Structure 1
Amino acid sequence: MPLVLARFWWQGRHAPALRQNLGQRLGLVQCYSQPVIWVHTASVGEVIAAGPMIRRLLDRKLEARILVTAMTDTGLAQARKMFGDDVDYSYVPLDTPGSVRRFLGRVTPKVAVVLETEIWPNLITQCYRKQVPVFLINARLSERSARGYERVRGLVRPVMQKITWIAAQAEKDAERFRRIGVAPASVEVTGSVKFDVDITEGIRESARQCRQILGARPVWVAGSTHAGEDEQLLEAHRAVLGQHPQALLVIVPRHPDRFGSVAELAVKAGFTVARRSLQQDPAHAQVYLGDTMGELMMLYGAGDMAFVGGSLIERGGHNPLEPAAWGIPVLSGPHVFNFETVYERLRAGEGVVMVQSGDELGQAVVRLMATREERQALGERALAVVNKNRGALDRVVEGIVERL
Structure 2
Amino acid sequence: MRDRYVTQVWNSVARFAYTLLYTLLMPLIVARLWWRGRANPAYRQRIAERFGYLPHHPRAGGLWVHAVSVGETLAAAPLVKRFLEQNPDTPLIITTTTPTGSEQVKRLFGGRVFHMYLPYDLPVFIHRFLRTIRPAALVVMETELWPNLMACCEQRHIPVILANARLSEKSARGYAKFSALTQPMLQRLSMVAAQHQSDADRFLALGLPPERLAVTGSVKFDLTVAEGLNDKGAELRQQWGRERPVLALASSHPGEDEQVLDLWPEIHQAVPELLLLLIPRHPERFEAVGNAARSRQLKIQRRSQGPASEATQVYVADTMGEMLTLLAAADVVLMGGSLVELGGHNPIEPAALGKATLIGPNYMNFAAIVDAMAEDHALEVVSDLNQLATRLAYFLNDTEARQLMGERAQATVDNNRGAVQRLVDLIDPLLKH
Which TM-score bucket, shorter chain as reference? over 0.9
Pick which of 209-218 and 170-179 moved more.
209-218
| CA–CA distance in structure 1, aligned partners of residues 397 and 42 of structure 2 | 46
Please give the secondary structure, in 1, of the residue aligned with 2:321: coil
> Which residue does the alignment assign to 2:161?
135
Pairing 1:94–2:120 present? yes
TM-score normalised by length of structure 2: 0.91
Residue equivalent to 2:34: 9
Matched, 1:225 2:222: no
> Residue 143 of structure 2 contacts residue 167 of structure 2 at CA under 8 Å; is this kept in 1?
yes
Determine helix, strand or coil for the equivalent of 1:109.
coil
Distance 2:395 2:323 in 1: 21
C-alpha distance in structure 1 between counterparts of 2:198 and 2:133, whole Å: 35
Within 5 Å, give how 1:172-321 maps onto structure 2.
172-216=198-242, 217-321=244-348
Unaligned runs of 5+ in 1: none
State the TM-score, normalizing by the size of structure 1. 0.97
Aligned residues between the structures: 404
Q: Structure 2 unaligned segments of length 5 or more: list them.
A: 1-25
Match for residue 343 of structure 1? Answer: 370
Alpha-carbon shift at residue 280 of structure 1 (Å)? 4.3
Give the letter for the 1:153 counterpart.
S
What RMSD over aligned residues (CA atoms) do the two structures have, in Å? 1.3
- Which one has a bigger Cα radius of gyration? 2
Shift of 1:263: 0.5
Which of 413, 416, 419 is residue 386 of structure 1 equivalent to? 413
Structure 2 SS opposite 1:161? helix
User: Structure 2: how far apart are the matches of 1:294 and 1:161?
Assistant: 37
CA distance in 2, matches of 1:204, 1:374: 20
Per-residue Cα deviation, 1:272-313 (whole angstroms, up to 9, x for no partner): 110002224333111100111111121111101100011111
Query: Aligned letter for 1:361?
Result: L
The answer (yes or no) to whether the contact 2:240–2:309 under 8 Å persists in 1 is: yes
| Alignment map for 1:110-149 (pairs within 5 Å) | 110-149=136-175
- Alignment check: 8 A CA contact 1:134 1:165 kept: yes
Contact 1:312 1:356 in 2 (8 A): no
Q: Which moved more, 1:113-122 or 1:208-217?
A: 208-217
How has the CA–CA distance of structure 1 residues 23 and 202 changed in structure 2, closer, same or farther, with 3 Å as cutoff?
farther
Shift of 1:338: 0.2
Does the Cα contact within 8 Å between 2:60 and 2:135 map onto a contact in 1?
no
2:99 is the alignment partner of 1:39: no
SS at match of 1:298: helix
Letter of the 1:334 partner, please give it: P
* Larger displacement relative to structure 2 (115-124 or 3-12): 3-12
Q: Residue 60 of structure 1 aligns with which residue?
A: 86
Moved more, 229-238 or 304-313: 229-238
**1:161 maps onto 2:187 in alignment:** yes
1:59-97 alpha-carbon deviations (Å, 9 max, x no partner): 012532111111100011011011111111111111111
Q: Measure the CA separation in 2 of the matches of 1:303 and 1:280.
A: 15
Give CA deviations for 1:364-383 in whole Å, capped at 9, x if unaligned: 11111221111111111111
Structure 2: distance between partners of 1:324 and 1:169: 18
**CA displacement at 1:138 relative to structure 2:** 0.2
CA displacement at 1:254 relative to structure 2:
1.0
Q: SS of the residue aligned with 1:113?
A: strand
247-256 or 60-69, which deviates more: 60-69
Residues 317 and 335 in structure 1, CA contact (< 8 A), matched pair in contact too? yes
Q: Which moved more, 1:104-113 or 1:32-41?
A: 32-41
Q: 1:81 aligns with which of 99, 107, 113?
A: 107
CA distance in 1, matches of 2:58, 2:110: 19
| Equivalent in 353, 359, 377 of residue 404 of structure 2 | 377
Partner-residue secondary structure (3-state), 1:17: helix
Identity of aligned residues (%): 41
Q: Tell me the distance in 2 between the aligned counterparts of 1:331 and 1:270.
A: 26
Structure 1 ranges of 4+ moved more than 4 A: none
| Contact 1:34-1:64 at 8 Å conserved across structures | no
SS in 1 for 2:230: helix
